[in-house]
């Protein structure tokens, strides 16, 4: 199963990725997590990406396409994968087609902008794994600690309100056109296109996905 998760920053892509990885036994490929690891490791890619990400802008298509192409070629992707945060522009989506990387299902998680801004202030992440929590809506078992490793949770640098607003603008102008791109493919039976209401509870969104992605 090859799945794309589409949705605004904070729509719940990373959160639902945890559920879908388990359901299908496929790896999550989060370009955001890959870039954050590169920043943490201080690689040349990380140094380049940091400034762009802190402003809420997009890293260049060439860099991202290269990263994803290498990642999907790895052995653990043989049975499928879950793309979280990619593609994010029409050229990125076209790169999947031109590399003959077909997709079974595209899932759009829809959440209005105002709700997103509220959510981001409470997000806490475990950087090493990408596991994501919310202080109110999805709290960890022990405050400030990751459920699996017990390590500290942190606040992402790009979760400040002004940066979230600019990420939302970037989403609407550059990423939202992918809804029409993949709806058109679905109309030709090239993939499924599924839209879920991301304002429901985490468990309700998962249950909806469970039903729709049988």
Would you say 45 or 64 has its CB closer to ligand AP5? 64
Would you say 65 or 191 has its CB closer to ligand AP5? 65
Q: In the annotation, is 165 catalytic?
A: no
* Residue 81 dihedral angles phi and psi, to the nearest 5°: -165, 165
**79 annotated to bind ligand:** no
Instruction: Considering only residues 116 through 135, tell me which ones interact with ligand AP5, judged by CB under 6 A.
Output: 119, 122-123, 132-134
Q: In the annotation, is 124 catalytic?
A: no
Q: In the annotation, is 131 catalytic?
A: no
Q: Should residue 14 be labelled a site residue for Zn ion when binding is judged by CB under 5 A?
A: yes
**Residues in binding contact with Zn ion, number by CB under 5 A:** 2
CB 10 to ligand AP5: min, Å:
4
Cα–Cα distance for residue pair 52/166, rounded to 1 Å: 12
Cα–Cα distance for residue pair 83/143, rounded to 1 Å: 29
Q: In the annotation, is 156 catalytic?
A: yes
The DSSP annotation for 92-122 comes to HHHHHHHTT---SEEEEEE--HHHHHHHHHT
Torsion sign, CA atoms 59, 21, 69, 102: negative
CB 133 within 8 A of CB 140: yes
Would you say 156 or 185 has its CB closer to Zn ion? 156
CB 180 within 8 A of CB 18: no
Among 29, 59, 82, 196, binds ligand AP5 (CB under 6 A): 59
CB 53 to ligand AP5: min, Å:
4
Among 77, 94, 104, 137, binds ligand AP5 (CB under 6 A): 137
The DSSP annotation for 64-97 comes to HHHHHHHHHTSGGGTT-EEEES---SHHHHHHHH
**156 annotated to bind ligand:** yes
Cα–Cα distance for residue pair 44/106, rounded to 1 Å: 32
Rg of the chain taking only CA atoms, in angstroms: 16
Active-site residue list: 13, 88, 123, 156, 167
Binding site for ATP, by residue number, is 10-15, 123, 132-133, 200
* Contacting positions for ligand AP5 (CB under 6 A): 7, 9-15, 31-32, 35, 52-53, 56-59, 64, 85-86, 88, 92, 119, 122-123, 132-134, 137-138, 158, 167, 198, 200-202, 205
């Amino acid at each position: 199963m090859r799945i794309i998760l589409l949705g605004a920053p904070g729509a719940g892509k990373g959160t639902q990725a945890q559920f879908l990885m388990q359901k299908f036994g496929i790896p999550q490929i989060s370009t955001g997590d890959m870039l954050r690891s590169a920043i943490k490791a201080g690689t040349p890619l990380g140094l380049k990406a940091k400034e762009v990400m802190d402003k809420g802008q997009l890293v260049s298509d060439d860099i991202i396409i290269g990263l994803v192409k290498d990642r999907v070629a790895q052995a653990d992707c043989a049975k499928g994968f879950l793309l979280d945060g990619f593609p994010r522009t029409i050229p990125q989506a076209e790169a999947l087609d031109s590399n003959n990387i077909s997709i079974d299902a595209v899932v759009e998680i829809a959440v209005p902008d105002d709700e997103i801004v509220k959510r981001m202030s409470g997000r806490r992440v475990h950087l090493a794994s990408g596991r994501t929590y919310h202080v109110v809506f999805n709290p960890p078992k022990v405050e400030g600690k990751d459920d699996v490793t017990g390590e500290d949770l942190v606040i992402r640098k790009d979760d400040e309100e002004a940066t979230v607003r600019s990420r939302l603008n970037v989403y609407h102008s550059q990423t939202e056109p992918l809804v029409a791109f993949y709806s058109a493919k679905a109309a030709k039976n090239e993939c499924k296109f599924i839209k879920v209401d991301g304002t429901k509870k985490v468990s309700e969104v998962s249950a909806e996905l469970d039903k729709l992605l049988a």
